[in-house]
């Protein structure tokens, strides 16, 4: 792994109330400047992971370090400084913009709180507006007067004005039309490269993750079940859950679009987790041991990690391989 990790999680657990285990001993290292995607369904812990990184959710146990410093220490020592270094794009971009303030004031507020130079920031806001193809007149508008795509771009400006080194994006394109999602993703990728951001992006859209990240984490019920270079994951998923998830998202151009693996049953509740492997209740290739022993994350030959007793045994439709 990298010498200076952007993000390091050590056996991070988050439990809500007594019973709801949102994250369960998640261990992870993300290098500075790395772009990592997270995929998984409801209850997988994607959003909790993001919120814990920015300090919105407190860990129940384990360690969270960002840029070499534990989050709890950083937040105590210099909370504003910490929040400048790590910024988050929320899923509901419109909801993050106060309806009583104009866009211009919303951006100025962030600048004032963090005591940035006003003239210089004004200059940067103008240049951001130009690059994000937003008219300067938008600064005088209220959030309800702008479109969802514009609200997201304003969110990006507000996050980047503070010159963060880590950017966490929770479903940045959810609810956006495909006609505009590409534009937003292009900008995020450009900024990631330009500013050498450590970038974590959560999406339920696997195509998005495939196109914009080099490494992907697949999560299920609070655990990482597969962690692999994005190309390898999509070409040869090792975990049966990853295999099924990928099969439900065929590319439009794929000749065989109907080859989805249909998993049985529903995602179990975080309050009543299955014993053994958490995926065994829905796994097409589960064997008796899977109901008894929880598999650990083990390295794969391809350089990733997988949490499965029998990795690679679920055949993908259309490949003929088992």
Partner 1 sequence: MAGPLLEISDLRLSAGSGKGAAAILRGIDLALARGRILGIVGESGSGKSSLVNTIMGLTPPGLRAEGRIVLAGEDLLGLSPVRMRALRGHRLAMIFQDPMTALNPVFRIGTQLVDVIRNRHPGTVPAAVEAMAVEALGRVGLPDPGRRMRDYPGQLSGGMRQRVMIAMALVCRPELLIADEPTTALDATIEAQIIDLLRRLRHDFQGSIIFISHNLGTVMQLCDEVAVLYGGHLVESGPVRAVLRRPLHPYTRALVGCEIDDRPVDAPLAFIPGKVPETTERPGGCIFADRCAYAAAPCRTTAPRLAAQGDDRRAACLRLGELP
Which is closer to partner 1, CB of 121 or CB of 173?
173
- Strand, coil or helix: 145: helix
Stated as kind and residue range, the H or E segment containing 17 is none
Which is closer to partner 1, CB of 59 or CB of 149?
149
The answer to whether 283 contacts partner 1 (rule: CB under 8 A) is no
Give least dist CB 298 to partner 1, A. Answer: 24
Query: Measured between alpha carbons, how far is 251 from 206 in angstroms, rounded to an integer?
Result: 10
Which is closer to partner 1, CB of 124 or CB of 282?
282
Binding mask 69-88 for partner 1 (x = CB under 8 A): --------------------
Alpha helices (H) in the chain, listed in sequence order:
46-54, 71-77, 79-85, 103-113, 118-131, 148-161, 178-195, 206-212, 230-235, 240-247
Give least dist CB 259 to partner 1, A. Answer: 10
Q: Which of 88, 93, 244, 283 binds partner 1 (CB under 8 A)?
A: 244
Tokens of 261: 């693996």
Give the binding range for partner 1 (CB under 8 A) out of 62-70, 75-83, 185-193, 308-316. 185-193
The answer to whether 218 contacts partner 1 (rule: CB under 8 A) is no
Q: Which of 31, 33, 70, 182 binds partner 1 (CB under 8 A)?
A: 182
Tokens of 21: 């285990």
Left, alpha or beta for 173 (phi > 0: left; psi -120 to 50: alpha)? alpha
Query: Measured between alpha carbons, how far is 71 from 104 in angstroms, rounded to an integer?
Result: 31
Which is closer to partner 1, CB of 282 or CB of 307?
282
The CA-CA-CA angle for residues 16, 72, 62, to 5°, reads 55
What are the residues binding partner 1 (CB under 8 A)?
41-42, 133, 147, 149, 177-183, 185-186, 189, 204-208, 210-214, 230, 244-245, 248-253, 257-258, 260-263, 265-267, 282
């Amino acid at each position: 792994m990298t010498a200076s990790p952007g993000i390091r999680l050590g056996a991070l657990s988050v439990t809500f109330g007594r019973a709801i285990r949102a994250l369960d001993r998640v261990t992870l290292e993300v290098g500075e400047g790395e772009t990592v995607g997270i995929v998984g369904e409801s209850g997988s812990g994607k959003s909790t992971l993001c919120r814990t990184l920015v300090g919105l959710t407190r860990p129940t146990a384990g360690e969270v370090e960002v840029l070499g410093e534990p989050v709890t220490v950083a937040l105590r020592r210099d909370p504003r400084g910490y929040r400048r270094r790590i910024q988050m794009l929320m899923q509901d971009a419109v909801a993050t913009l106060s309806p009583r303030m104009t866009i211009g004031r919303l951006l100025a507020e962030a600048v004032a709180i963090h005591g940035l130079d006003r003239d210089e920031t004004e200059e940067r806001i103008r240049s951001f507006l130009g690059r994000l193809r937003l008219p300067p007149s938008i600064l005088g508008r209220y959030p309800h007067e702008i479109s969802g795509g514009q609200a997201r771009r304003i969110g990006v400006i507000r996050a980047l004005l503070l010159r963060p080194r880590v950017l966490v994006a929770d479903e940045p394109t959810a609810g956006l039309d495909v006609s505009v999602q590409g534009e937003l993703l292009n900008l995020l990728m450009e900024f990631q490269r330009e500013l050498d951001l450590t970038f974590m992006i959560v999406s339920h859209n696997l195509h998005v993750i495939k196109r914009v990240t080099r490494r992907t984490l697949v999560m299920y019920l609070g655990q990482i079940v597969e962690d692999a270079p994005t190309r390898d994951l999509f070409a040869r998923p090792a975990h049966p859950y990853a295999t099924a998830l990928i099969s439900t998202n065929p590319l439009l151009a794929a000749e065989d679009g109907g080859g989805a693996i249909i998993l049985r049953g529903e995602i179990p509740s975080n309050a009543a987790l299955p014993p053994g492997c958490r995926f065994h209740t829905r796994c097409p290739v589960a064997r008796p041991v899977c109901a008894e022993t929880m598999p650990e994350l083990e390295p794969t030959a391809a350089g990733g990690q997988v949490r499965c007793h029998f990795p690679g045994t679920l055949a993908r439709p259309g490949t003929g391989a088992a």
